[in-house]
Amino acid sequence: MHSCLMTEDILVTILQWVHDDSNDGKRTLAILARTCKTFKEIALDILWREIPNLAPLVRTLPVDTWEIKFAGGPPIAILRRKTTAADWTRCCAYTPRIKRLGYEVPKTCGFGFRELVRSMIIGPDIFEAIKSTSLLQFPNLRHLYWDQAQLPQLPVTPFLGPSIRTLQLNVDSYGSSSVLCKNLPQLCPSLRRLNLNVTAESQVVDSHSPCCTLIQGICESLEALFCNNISLPVDVLQELATSTKLKRLHVGNDMNDILRHFPFSELPFFPALSHLYSTSKYLASVTRFIERVGSRSFESVEITTMIPPPESDLQYFFKTLKRHCNHDDFKSLSVHHLSRSFYSIPAASSGYDFISATVKPLLVFRNLEKLSLKSTYRFMLDNTDLGFMAVAWRNIQELVIGDFHSNWGSELHITLDGLLPLTRYCPDLEILGISLQGVTTSANLDEARKKITGSTCRKVKTLTLGSSTIEDPISVAEYLAAIFPNLTWIMAVGENKSSWEEVSNFLKYMRL
């Protein structure tokens, strides 16, 4: 049985809905907090749950303590007088409510509020005042994003505490000991997710560097580690590989380098890993890594390769996922090729044709929500293949086969009619990238409307179509509007780009 909702639960749900109003949500909650005792505490909790920086707190100080200075650039908040303990006490009414600090303001907060807090800069004198006071505490802060480049005057230590579960640090060098605190395990015993970004050029770091010391100190409790521009030394990788809690991993090491240090005889090898992110030279090394892990716990894999893998390697990679991943749990797959030559397409005889047999192993993942393939393949799929995908992946939200910057090959076999299975089986589809033959007639349109019978992909607003062909923009716009009723924008490249732009314009006019 479901537990009964209490009055407070209902109020939280209602006020959260009010907060999510993109226009006046925060303003409305603030009015409720000031005018109604019943709503006050809940409204304040929702209002202060997440702030992007310290600007909202500074604005709660007495009006005679600070002012905004305009000097040709972004507005700067500075002190008008020396602050006292009583001044900072006013902030203490709000700091216990803050759960997330430093992250981008959600779009639901309204344009005016987002622009205000993003553009307002805190002056160095305010940072000095914050450092000198011990009153500013964040006892319930769970997620902290700290950018040393933007806040060089203020150490991160005062914001760390036992409630922190997610810590994202942007530092300017691998030896930034002022931010990479050696006492992190003691300060944040509940830390489970670490995202460490160093703005310096990617390199292999020493085992005794502050960032490695930080990672080693919390290896046993980490569930997610993201440091994609740091190539970790062997001893740190060994500690991570034996962790029974690490579920998400993204490091700067090439998968081939990692495998070289871990013979097949060694166990365990990332036994709990379920989300893998990697930038490697060859896809084959990622395939061997997944085979080495040998578990069936993978839920998502995101790969960027430096060299485009031939179709045979890609198909074997898909078959490996089929063997080593739970068919019900696996939900997200991305394989991208990091290339400077976006418009170079391999010759037809070079083994880069993406055919139905290539994608067939993935059809077993019945709960797949995302498939993003961006590389210089010639995609040879047809309407039947797309129909099989639609039937197999009924929860799909993002389906991208190709890259906006490439023309995806010259042979197009998917027609507008081939999109109809998506409207029938994939109601949650939001993002679609595919190459089409944009040819239709009034008879096709009438037949399509009969087949749709109320089933449409209402969440699709943007199409990425590469170098799709097109004949009559008006009839194509009518066809797409019938199956994607909220479609407003189409991106395309090549000689037909202007014609697809006409389709976008027609779609906008149809909604006026």
**Tens-level pLDDT at each residue, the chain (512 residues):** 567 777 788 888 888 888 877 667 888 888 888 888 888 999 999 999 998 888 888 889 999 999 888 877 778 888 999 999 889 988 888 999 999 998 765 454 444 544 555 557 788 888 888 877 777 889 999 999 987 666 655 667 778 889 999 999 887 655 555 455 667 888 889 999 999 887 665 555 666 677 777 788 888 899 999 988 888 888 889 889 988 899 999 998 999 989 988 876 666 789 999 999 999 999 999 999 999 886 788 999 999 998 888 889 999 999 999 999 999 999 999 999 876 444 444 544 467 788 899 999 999 999 999 999 987 777 888 999 999 999 999 999 999 987 655 545 556 688 888 999 999 999 999 999 988 887 765 556 666 666 666 678 999 988 988 888 888 898 899 889 989 999 988 988 878 889 999 999 999 888 76
Q: How far apart are the first and last CA of the chain?
A: 47
In this structure, are strands 76-79 and 66-69 parallel, antiparallel, or unpaired?
antiparallel
Alpha helices in 283-377 (DSSP H): 283-293, 311-324, 356-359
- Chain centroid to Cα 374, Å, comes to 17
Q: Which long-range contacts (CB under 8 A, 24 or more apart) does 484-487 make?
A: 484/456, 484/457, 484/458, 484/460, 485/456, 485/458, 486/458, 486/459, 486/460, 486/461, 487/460, 487/461, 487/462, 487/463
How much is the pLDDT for 154?
Answer: 63
Across-strand partners of 382? 413
Model-level pTM greater than 0.75? yes
How much is the pLDDT for 2?
Answer: 63
Alpha helices in 368-441 (DSSP H): 383-392, 420-425
* Cα 202–Cα 208–Cα 212 angle in degrees, nearest 5: 55
Q: Is 447 helix (H, G, I), strand (E, B) or coil?
A: helix
How much is the pLDDT for 96?
Answer: 94
How much is the pLDDT for 349?
Answer: 47
Phi–psi pair at 316, nearest 5 degrees: -65, -35
Q: Is the dihedral of CA 218, 219, 223, 227 positive or negative?
A: positive
Phi-psi region at 102: left, alpha or beta (left = phi > 0; alpha = psi -120 to 50): left
